Amino acid sequence: MATITFKKNPVHTAGSLPAKGAAAPDFKLVAGDLSEATLATFAGKKKILNIVPSLDTGVCQMSAKKFNAAVAGLKNIALINISADLPFAQKRFCESEKLANITNLSVFRSPEFGKAYGVVMTDGPLAGLMSRAVVVLDENNKVVHAEQVPEIAQEPNYDAALAAVK
């Protein structure tokens, strides 16, 4: 269990992020067309998992925009936004912001994702949603970077995540 904060108040997660060097847990999440996506969907690519509580919040939107811009010129990278938002809302946000470099995946049918990655908040006002975290995987799904953002209202360390995929 990790302890993070939401507006300086302690919040706990269901576990810890996968450790650097570990194999990433597989997942089965819902894509924009309501199909299911797994790690195999992105086989052979480096992956940035931008895990956020909801794209209806400013900080989550900012992280999506910044990562989208940062990966625009990079090759062989899948930027994957993961939240509990329904696929329709995720798509609407990305279309309105013209974010073309993101694959959105929803955990709405897969609560086990939050436990496997140690990011589901177990208490506090956002209990049940994912905490803000970034997990970067290499082409073989090994964790090369993992950041549990300590305060939900803060942005992740973009530079560290991007350095891990270059």
Catalytic site positions: 60
CA angle 2, 7, 125 (to 5 degrees): 70
Give the number of other Cβ atoms within 10 Å of residue 57's Cβ: 17
